[in-house]
Structure 1
Amino acid sequence: MKMRRMLSIVIAIVMVIVIAACGSGNNNEPSETTNTPPANNSNATVDEQENEAVVPTEPELEKDAKLIVWDNGGSDETWAKAVAEEFTKKYNIPVEVQVVSQGDAPTKLQTDGPAGLGADVFLAPHDKIGGLVASGLVLENFFADEYKVNFMEASITGTSMNGVLYGYPTAIDTYALFYNKDLVKNVPATMDDLIAQSKGFTDKAKEKYGFMMQVNDFFFLYGFLGGYDGYVFGDKNTNKDDIGLNNEGAVKAAQFMQKLHKEVLPLNSGDINYALKETLFINNNLMFDINGPWAVAALQEGKVNFGVAPLPKLDNGKAPTSFSGIRAYYVNSYTKYPEAAAAYARFATSEEMLMKKFEISGQLPPRISLMENETIKGNEIIKGFLDQAAVSVPMPNIPEMVPVWEAMGNAFAVIWDDNADPKTVLDKAVNQIKEAISLSNQ
């Protein structure tokens, strides 16, 4: 255990030097423990890990352990308290669940962690991991090999930094294709098919549209860019010096967007928004929409007959690689009970507990085995999102991603509205991003 913690601290110190912009470094070493390392499957073969008959050895936990867990409110809190109760029954370790939103937890931990006031286990979005690691606030995942076998690749990549896995993924979000079953006869397998169906329905004068998406939001646009082999940063979004937002694939994606504008969506980018899409869909005036799980409830309340499917393939035969967001538990590096905290995070992300999370909150479980669960597999809406999540790319979690959002959103708005030359506009956007990154690193 001591070796793991020392390694994490060394990594953290290096990260502080390398990514100073993420947050102030902290070289204070967390309190040590003399407990032996957890007995886990980190050295097991893939075949052993995939064999359900193999029972993982239980880790040796601190005898005096008591844990604090930070999680969101609402259904997340309900689930977290259920997990805590089951964990206490199994390990006789008391767990207190406190409501601290995933967005606030990383900032709160900056002060509470070193002071010994922070949660032992906390929830955070994956794109905050850069700052957490740079500030020395998280320990690595104790069971990394086990997780790499059992969880979606996107969830592992998203919660890792410099090849080291830190997160214990609890949920994955991505967007997919919503379609109105009363208007769509056949779910399109390709974007060409979607365009063909949309043409026959679109009538701007009657406010009827075959297809819509938020065309100036890079979160949604990336699916096409990635499908055409564009990318944000090289080396799986870890190399800030290699930007692929103006390469040949990115240009093809921009040209494809111009085709959508010309053939099926004759509105300016500023006229397309979330509320408009929702209203049109509920009123049966929209056939196809690209949206996420957050849109489901309103459509169900509106009694819309709809389905969800993976994004149709592009003309190069590849699937659009949508951005995904990963929620995960992390272990506070200042915890007095690292073994118990790691065991809790592992327990919470077990197949049983993630299935319970799905039942309580409807959040998509990133555990591979649950994709074959009959309850999930039989739910057309959930299955559509999970199938898309399987080819998704986690949003980059390095701090240099910050200037990308605005620069690329503005670039695609110009490409869409003005039919501007994609290469020229994307080159300008990339130069803006490079300048912003250079300034932030000074």
Structure 2
Amino acid sequence: MRTFCKTLIALGISVALGQTANAAGDVLTIWEDTNKAVGIELAARDFAKENKVKVVIEQKDSASHLNELEKLVENGGDVPDVFIVISDRTEEAVNKNVISDLPFMKADASKYAKLATDVFYINGKYYAAPRSIETLVVYYNKDLLDVPYETIDGYEKAGDRLAAQGKYGLVGKLDELYIAYGMMSAYGAYVFGKNGEEYNKYDVGFASGNADDGLTNLADYVRRYIPKQLQTPEGWGLVDKMFIEGQAAAVINGPWALDSYAKSGINYGIAPLPKLKNGEYFRPFYGVKGYAIAKNSQNKDLAAKFIEFANQPKYALIRYSAIAELPPINDVIANPLIANDDFSNALASQMLNADPMPYIAETSQIWGPMADAIKSVIANKQNAKQALNDAVVKINKAISNTDNNQEDALPNDSE
């Protein structure tokens, strides 16, 4: 697991690099994810030296970068030059006019996996350069499973066998849409259809294809193989606890779980998600974190130069070594150090069978109705077809209500 050498050290909350540069020179402020600045410290130091500037790295939870940036813009505060935008919130950042497009990505896009750049391409412009990509994988306990199974049937048989020992086979928060989606999408479900490159918010596809078969199979699996305590809000943490303590032979989880599993000392491996009963692979969401430039940055050219510099393969490899987040850069993925690494290999393989989390604002309307539908079918209160149809009606109504409210808020030219 990540066998090449880590050459960097932890940095704390904020670091400043290049202080020996001309005091009157430029200062570039970079927002990195919490505890992840170590991944770009060398790139920042080399950039500061080469460009005779000062680089300041501040660490904040990447999920909050956009919200914090918006507050600074509203209050007239000093914004960072570079921040992390998450792919499904990119359009929101564009609509709120707090993010700048990246002209250099027109030429650089071919350096990245296409699925990682597509999510940042909106209205003919790129708004971020991919930093890392994430999706769900299977973590399995090598002391309980000799090899990971290619099919869900294999995990079901493992669950049946391990039940006699008071243990479980493959578990996860399958009662939640974020994970359950992968089973329904393998049967034809989708979130929103597209008109060309743009999402069509009026084409909600959760009831499409044989999605009801997928949800029926999921509910059956949950009732037979997922303990009740995992079907609660506390279940997210209990998934990790069960795996680390050897109560579950395998779990469905994302890259964010890697660090705690590695530190636990458990003898684990990583594999793509299994094929389902229809012969199709479990098809989860994927997301991309990208380096973006704040609209109000006073150093846009320098910020763009830094992003290109930090995403050079040699620095991206160091970043992966330090923080275990896979850069979707073609030359990095092809590097033997990555290609022969079990985590990156599983993640890259799974990306071939994954759907992007839609970036349009209407995505926020799907979670409540779909949570109700999934839980209703698991509890045998509705059949899957009825539950999905009801959910689609609720989602469409919520989107329509939002549209009407926005129209009401528009100024009346006749006044």
Q: TM-score with structure 1 length normalisation?
A: 0.78
What corresponds to 1:325 in structure 2? 287
1:215-230 matched pairs, under 5 angstroms:
215-230=174-189
SS in 2 for 1:313: coil
Q: Deviations over 1:66-99 (max 9, x none)?
A: 422222332x223344322111222333322233
Contact kept? 2:25, 2:54, Cα under 8 Å:
no
Pick from 121, 138, 144 the counterpart of residue 183 of structure 1. 144
CA distance in 2, matches of 1:181, 1:90: 46
What corresponds to 1:67 in structure 2? 28
CA distance in 1, matches of 2:256, 2:325: 10
Q: Deviations over 1:309-364 (max 9, x none)?
A: 00112233332222122211111223333222211111122212211111221212
Q: Which amino acid in structure 2 is aligned with residue 255 of structure 1?
A: T
Pick from 362, 380, 398 the counterpart of residue 418 of structure 1. 380
1:41-440 matched pairs, under 5 angstroms:
65-74=26-35, 76-113=36-73, 115=76, 117-203=78-164, 207-235=166-194, 238-261=199-222, 263-265=224-226, 267=228, 270=231, 273-418=235-380, 420-440=382-402
What corresponds to 2:19 in structure 1? none
Q: Which amino acid in structure 1 is aligned with residue 50 of structure 2?
A: K
SS in 1 for 2:139: strand
Q: Deviations over 1:124-146 (max 9, x none)?
A: 22222122101222222223344
Query: 1:248: how far off?
Result: 2.3
Contact kept? 1:258, 1:419, Cα under 8 Å:
no
Q: Which amino acid in structure 1 is aligned with residue 255 of structure 2?
A: P
* Pair 145,226 (structure 1): closer, same or farther in 2 beyond 3 Å: farther
* Pair 282,268 (structure 1): closer, same or farther in 2 beyond 3 Å: closer
CA distance in 2, matches of 1:282, 1:87: 40
CA distance in 2, matches of 1:265, 1:336: 52
CA distance in 1, matches of 2:245, 2:78: 51
What corresponds to 2:409 in structure 1? none
* Pair 146,388 (structure 1): closer, same or farther in 2 beyond 3 Å: farther
Q: Which amino acid in structure 1 is aligned with residue 373 of structure 2?
A: A
CA distance in 2, matches of 1:408, 1:172: 25
Contact kept? 2:40, 2:315, Cα under 8 Å:
no
Q: Which amino acid in structure 2 is aligned with residue 317 of structure 1?
A: G
**Which consecutive unaligned segments of at least 5 residues does structure 2 have?**
1-23, 406-415
Structure 1 vs Structure 2 CA RMSD: 2.5
* Pair 276,339 (structure 1): closer, same or farther in 2 beyond 3 Å: closer
**Which consecutive unaligned segments of at least 5 residues does structure 1 have?**
1-62
CA distance in 2, matches of 1:89, 1:283: 47
Q: TM-score with structure 2 length normalisation?
A: 0.83
**Identity fraction in percent:** 24
SS in 2 for 1:418: coil
* Pair 104,288 (structure 1): closer, same or farther in 2 beyond 3 Å: closer
Aligned residues: 377
CA distance in 2, matches of 1:253, 1:289: 19
